[in-house]
């Protein structure tokens, strides 16, 4: 629930800032006070935000604590796990590629990947970008006991496991 609230707050904040930045009149609202008030109301531990106009960042702010227990303040360099919001960005990116004619939604994903992906139980069935976007590809999220430790969190780039090594374990027989 907190993630949904944080997402709603983030979208609202972006819309508010965008609306304010389009207005040529001086901004009547103190963005920092609004952020702090919303953080307190929603019990959000930290927020980092910026306003970009054209090619320039015209405002930035960091509020609250990146690590509450250690009282470590948030900074403009604080990294946040993007969690499920990544689905939005991936979907938009894939559809932009489709719009530009660089990707076909019903084509075999193997034409876009440097390794082969097939469900061993249905090797004749192609897996397509449309299937991946609609969660109908037969690829599964591993059960808790089968997950690699902290797989869904951060990796040092040199230590990221190759997808071709772990993907076959997460293909479901029934799709």
Tens of pLDDT, residue by residue over 16-52, are 555 554 444 444 458 889 999 999 999 999 999 988 8
- What integer best gives the mean pLDDT of the chain? 76
For residue 85, the model assigns a pLDDT of 83
Residue 119 has a CB neighbour count (10 Å cut-off) of 19
CB 129 within 8 A of CB 103: yes
Alpha-carbon distance of 151 to 156, in angstroms, equals 12
Q: Is pLDDT at 110 greater than 60 in this prediction?
A: yes
**What length does the chain have?**
175
The ranges assigned to domains in the chain are: 2-73, 85-170
Provide the pLDDT confidence category of residue 175 given band limits of 50, 70 and 90. Answer: very low
Q: Is pLDDT at 130 greater than 90 in this prediction?
A: yes
Provide the pLDDT confidence category of residue 116 given band limits of 50, 70 and 90. Answer: confident
**What residue has token string 């019903």?**
106
Percent of the chain with pLDDT over 90: 31
**What residue has token string 């590809």?**
137
pLDDT tens, position by position, 47-83: 999 888 889 988 899 999 999 999 999 999 888 877 7
Alpha-carbon distance of 138 to 119, in angstroms, equals 7
Order of strands across the sheet with 46-53? 46-53, 56-67, 72-73
**Predicted TM-score of the model (pTM):** 0.49
CB 139 within 8 A of CB 167: yes
Mean pLDDT of 81-95: 87
Provide the pLDDT confidence category of residue 103 given band limits of 50, 70 and 90. Answer: very high
Q: From 133, 127, 126, select the one nearest 97 (Cα to Cα).
A: 133
CB 148 within 8 A of CB 158: no
């Amino acid at each position: 629930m907190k993630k949904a609230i944080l997402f709603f707050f983030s979208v609202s904040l972006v819309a508010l800032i965008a609306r304010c930045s389009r207005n040529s009149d001086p901004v009547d609202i103190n963005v920092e006070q609004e952020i702090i008030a919303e953080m307190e109301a929603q019990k959000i531990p930290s927020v980092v935000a910026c306003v970009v106009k054209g090619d320039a960042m015209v405002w930035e702010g960091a509020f609250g604590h990146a690590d509450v227990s250690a009282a470590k303040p948030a900074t403009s360099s604080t990294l946040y796990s993007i969690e499920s919001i990544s689905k939005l960005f991936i979907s938009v990116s894939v559809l932009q590629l489709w719009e530009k004619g660089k990707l076909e939604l019903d084509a075999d994903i193997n034409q876009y990947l440097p390794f082969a992906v097939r469900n061993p139980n249905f090797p004749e069935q192609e897996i397509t970008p449309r299937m991946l976007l609609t969660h109908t590809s037969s690829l599964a999220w591993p059960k808790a006991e089968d997950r690699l430790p902290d797989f869904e969190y951060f990796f040092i780039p040199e230590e990221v496991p190759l997808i071709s090594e772990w993907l076959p374990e997460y293909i479901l027989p029934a799709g």
